[in-house]
Amino acid sequence: MKTADKHPSLKAIQTTRVGIGISIILVVIKYVSGHIGHSYALVADATETGADILSSTLLWIGLVIAAKPPDKDHPYGHGKAEPLAALMISLFLVLAAAWIGWHAIGFITTPHELPQSFTLWVLLLVIVAKELMFRYVRKVGIRINSQAVKADAYHHRSDAITSIAAFIGITIALIGGKGWEAADDWAALLASFIIVFNAVKLFRPALAEIMDAAPPRKIALRIRKLAGEIKEVKEVEKCYVRKMGFDYYSDLHIKVDGSLSVSEGHRIAHMVKDRILKDNLNIKDVLIHVEPV
């Protein structure tokens, strides 16, 4: 079993804290600049970043729970809190997109001033910061195989997308001049649809993990190969794998010589289990059923 100081959730929690800190700074900059610069797209962008903060806080809570060791009520640990956090982040993305889209439609039909040119510089800063955060958080998510952390990464990417849309809209409005004020708001509306697309993309793998869908086939194939390397194993009949938070659990059926004693069959099962757990697969436990042949 992993010790607390080695648990991958600690790296995820550290990454999440960095993201929350940067998002708090950016939401203040964007909200103030949007109001002063008459840019609803920038205000909408600030709202999306605010959703980032809330969802990242949920992620932080989910990761803290997922890191808890197994107990009497949760013998398999608390790993399901991690994909559950990913689902909640996806829902937050949808809610943020709905809020942005609804208000963008209202501003499109309401006359207002042209946005100020300085807002473009603010957006350039935001785009660079959020894209760097996306790459950093996604790298961590892939390394520790966390759907929740990868979902949080795409939340940063969605924020960058809304900023790019706002940048384009404000640029069109400034070039077009009077009569083109709504270009800024159309950009916010377009960004809301992009955010929904990303939310659906993140929702599906998180839901699959909660429903114990089979992980990539290469993991089961690797487990079969490792078990088959034990000379006493005649055949690997069945191999089931499921993901629980950051780790995998496997159920394995192996066939051995039927004339062997129970003690010998038990010894072979332990050899198979030890071989699998020592491999770099993040396998937390293996339940082995021994059948005679």
Check which CATH number belongs to the domain holding 238 and give it: 3.30.70.1350
Section 199-206 average pLDDT: 80
In terms of phi and psi (left: phi > 0; alpha: psi -120 to 50; beta: otherwise), the region of 239 is beta
pLDDT tier for residue 7 given thresholds of 50, 70 and 90: low
Nearest to 152 by CA among 65, 30, 23, 245: 23
Residue 270: what pLDDT?
A: 92
Same domain (yes/no): 145, 236: no
Q: 281, 239 in Cβ contact below 8 A?
A: no
| pLDDT beyond 80 at 38 | no
Number of domains within the chain: 2
Residue 87 is encoded by which pair of tokens? 């689902």
pLDDT at res. 82: 75
Q: Is the pLDDT of residue 4 over 80?
A: no
Let me know whether 183 and 242 are in one domain.
no
Residue 181 is part of which domain span? Answer: 4-210
Position 3 confidence tier, pLDDT thresholds 50, 70, 90: very low
Query: Which pairing describes strands 235-244 and 247-256: parallel, antiparallel, or unpaired?
Result: antiparallel
Same domain for 229 and 99: no
Residues 147 and 268 in one domain: no
Query: How much of the chain exceeds pLDDT 70, in percent?
Result: 95
Which tens digit of pLDDT belongs to each residue from 219-269? 899 999 999 898 889 999 899 998 877 778 899 999 999 888 999 989 999
> Do 204 and 231 belong to one domain?
no
Q: Does the pLDDT value for residue 188 go beyond 90?
A: no
Distance CA 125, CA 166 (A): 13
195 and 158 within one domain? yes
Exposure b/e, 172-185, CB count within 10 A at least 16 = b: ebbeeeeeebbbbb
User: What contacts 24+ positions apart, CB below 8 Å, involve 124-131?
Assistant: 124/167, 125/29, 126/26, 126/29, 126/30, 126/45, 126/159, 126/160, 126/163, 127/160, 127/163, 127/164, 127/167, 129/22, 129/26, 130/26, 130/156, 130/157, 130/159, 130/160, 130/163, 131/156, 131/157, 131/160
Share of the chain above pLDDT 90, in %: 13
Q: What is the pLDDT of residue 210?
A: 83
- Looking at the structure, do residues 73 and 200 belong to the same domain, yes or no? yes
Question: Can you read off the two tokens belonging to residue 112?
Answer: 């207002």
CATH number for the domain that contains residue 16? 1.20.1510.10
Q: Strand, helix or coil at 9?
A: helix
Does residue 1 register a pLDDT over 50?
no
pLDDT value at position 9?
Answer: 64
Query: Tokens 């800024």, residue?
Result: 184
Same domain, yes or no: 103 and 202: yes
Confidence of residue 6 (pLDDT cuts 50, 70, 90): low
Residue 5 pLDDT level (bands cut at 50, 70, 90):
very low
Domain boundary among 178, 210, 242: 210
> Of 185, 210, 235, which closes a domain?
210
Query: Are 16 and 99 part of one and the same domain?
Result: yes
Task: Indicate whether 2 pLDDT > 70.
Answer: no
Distance CA 8, CA 2 (A): 9
Q: Among 210, 233, 262, identify where a domain stops.
A: 210
> What number is the average pLDDT over the span 106-125?
81
Q: Are residues 36 and 125 in the same domain?
A: yes
End-to-end CA distance of the chain: 33
Asked if 200 and 224 sit in the same domain, the reply is no
Residue, of 194 and 133, whose pLDDT is higher = 133
Q: Is the dihedral of CA 178, 180, 182, 188 positive or negative?
A: negative
Residues 101 and 228 in one domain: no
State the average pLDDT over residues 159-167.
Answer: 81
Give the per-residue pLDDT at 267.
92
- Whole-number pLDDT of residue 264: 92
- Beta strand 283-292 with 235-244 is unpaired
**Quick one: pLDDT band at residue 15, thresholds 50, 70, 90?**
confident
User: If we measure between CA atoms, which residue out of 136, 137, 134 comes closest to residue 163?
Assistant: 134
Residues 173-190 have a mean pLDDT of 79
- Inter-residue contact 140 to 15 (CB < 8 Å): yes
pLDDT beyond 80 at 185: no
